[in-house]
Amino acid sequence: MVAIEYYVILSAILFTLGIVGVLIRRNAIVIFMSIELMLNSANLAFIAFARQYNELNGQVFVFFVMTVAAAEVAVGLALMVTIFRTKHSIDVDQLSSLKG
Amino acid sequence: MLLREAAATNYFNLVPWVVFFPVLGILINLLVGGRLREKMIGVIASLAVAASFAVAVLLALSLNDQHAGTIIAFMNLEWISIGDLHIDWAFRVDTLSVTMMLAVSGVGTLIHIYAIAYMHADVRHHQDPTRYRRFFVFFNLFIVMMMILVSADNYLMLFVGWEGVGLCSYLLIGFWYDKGKGGANHLDGISNALAGKKAFITNRIGDFGFLIATFLMFGAFGSLQFDTVFTKAPFASQGTILAITLFMLLGVAGKSAQLPLYVWLPDAMAGPTPVSALIHAATMVTAGVYLVARSHELYALSSQAQNIVALVGGLTALFAATIAVGQFDIKKLLAYSTISQLGFMVAAVGMGAIVAGIFHLVTHAFFKALLFLSAGSVIQGVEAGHHAMEHGSIKESKHKRGEHLNEGGEFDAQDMRNMGGLSRRMPVTFVVYLVGALALAGIFPLAGFWSKDEILAEALHLHPAVFVLLIIAAFFTAFYMTRQIWMIFFSKPRSRPAEYARENSLLLTLPLILLAVLSVFGGALNLPFWHTLTHWLDYTLAEGAKVGSFNYLVAGLSTVLALAAIALGIFLYGKRYQAQAKLPAAQRPVDPVQPYLRGAFTGIQHKWWIDEFYDWLILRRYVALSRFLSYRFEERFWHDWLHDNAIAGSFRQTAHFLAQPVDLGIIDGIANGLGTISQRFASWIRRAQNGFVRSYATWVLAGMVIILGYLILR
Tell me the per-residue pLDDT of B301-321, one tens digit each, with 9 for 90 and over.
988 999 999 999 999 999 999
Predicted local confidence at residue A10, as pLDDT: 94
Q: Can you give the pLDDT at residue B673? A: 93
In whole angstroms, give the CA distance from residue B471 to residue A92: 134
Listed ranges A82-96, B187-201, B552-566; the one with the highest mean pLDDT: B552-566
CATH class held by domain A4-94: mainly alpha
A92·B697 Cβ contact <8 A: no
Question: Would you call A92 and B693 a contact, using CB atoms and an 8 Å cutoff?
Answer: yes
Query: How far away is chain A from the Cα of B700, in angstroms, using its nearest Cα?
Result: 11
pLDDT category, B186, cuts 50, 70, 90? very low
* B515: enclosing H helix or E strand: helix B506-521
Under an 8 A CB cutoff, do A19 and B701 touch?
Answer: yes
ipTM for this model: 0.82
**Of A43-57, B377-391, B563-577, which one has max mean pLDDT?**
A43-57
The pLDDT-based confidence of B706 (bands split at 50, 70, 90) is very high
By C-alpha distance, the chain B residue nearest A92 is: B693
pLDDT on residue B402? 55
Q: What share of chain B has pLDDT > 70, as a percent?
A: 92
Of B502, B495, B448, the residue nearest B473 (C-alpha): B448
B692/A96 Cβ within 8 A: yes
As a whole number of angstroms, the distance between CA B365 and CA B378 comes to: 19
Confidence of residue B522 (pLDDT cuts 50, 70, 90): confident
Average pLDDT, chain A: 89
Confidence band for B183, pLDDT divided at 50, 70 and 90: very low
Is the confidence at residue B483, as pLDDT, over 70? yes
Residue among B690, B694, B696 with most chain A CBs within 10 A, to mutate: B694
- Using CA coordinates, name the residue in chain B closest to A19: B701
pLDDT of B692 reads 80
pLDDT band per the 50, 70, 90 thresholds, residue B2: very low
* Most A-contacting residue of B692, B696, B698 (CB-CB within 10 A), to test interface: B692
In percent, the amount of chain B with pLDDT more than 90 equals: 38
CB contact under 8 A, A100 and B686: yes
CB contact under 8 A, A26 and B690: no
> In 3D, which of B357, B342, B364, B356 has the Cα closest to residue B522?
B364
pLDDT of residue B543: 58
Report CA B649 to chain centroid distance, whole Å.
Answer: 50
Contact B694 A24 (CB under 8 A): yes
- Could you tell me which residue, B81 or B491, shows the higher pLDDT? B81
- C-alpha distances in angstroms, B647 versus B263, B632, B654? 46, 18, 10
pLDDT score at B3: 45
The C-alpha of B706 sits at a distance from chain A's nearest C-alpha, in angstroms, of 16
Neighbour count for residue B54 (Cβ, 10 Å): 16
With contact defined as beta carbons under 8 Å apart, do B319 and B608 qualify?
yes
Count the neighbouring beta carbons within 10 Å of the beta carbon of residue B404: 13
Residues B440-444 have a mean pLDDT of: 88
3-state secondary structure of B259: coil
Residue of A nearest to B687 (CA): A100
Sorted by sequence, the CB contacts under 8 Å of residue B399 that are 6+ apart come out as: none
CB pairs under 8 A between A and B: 32
Long-range contacts (CB closer than 8 Å, 24 or more residues apart) made by B10-16: B11/B58, B11/B59, B11/B61, B11/B62, B12/B59, B12/B62, B12/B72, B12/B74, B12/B93, B13/B74, B14/B55, B14/B58, B14/B59, B15/B55, B15/B59, B15/B74, B15/B75, B15/B91, B15/B93, B15/B151, B16/B74, B16/B75, B16/B91
- Does the beta-carbon distance from A99 to B697 stay under 8 Å? no
Q: How far is CA B497 from CA B123, B333, B418, B693, in A?
A: 20, 21, 8, 119
Query: How many angstroms separate the CA of residue B678 from the nearest CA in chain A?
Result: 16
State which residues of chain A have pLDDT below 50: none
Find the range with the poorest average confidence among A54-58, B41-45, B393-397, B697-701: B393-397
Q: Which residues contact B643 (CB under 8 A, 6 or more apart)?
A: none
Assess whether pLDDT exceeds 60 at residue B571.
yes
Mean pLDDT within B545-551:
64
Given a cut of 60, whether residue B658 has pLDDT beyond it is: yes
B535 or B274, greater pLDDT: B274
Mean per-residue pLDDT, B332-356:
92
Sign for the CA dihedral angle at B667, B671, B676, B678 comes to positive
User: What are the residues whose beta carbons fall under 8 Å from the beta carbon of B710, sequence distance 6 or more?
Assistant: none
Of A87, A85, A61, A15, whose CA–CA distance to B701 is shortest?
A15
Q: Kindly identify which residue of chain B lies nearest to residue A93, measuring between CA atoms.
A: B692
Please tell me the pTM assigned to this model: 0.76
Higher pLDDT, B66 or B173: B173
Lowest mean pLDDT: which of B229-243, B511-525, B599-613, B646-660?
A: B599-613
CB contact under 8 A, A23 and B686: no
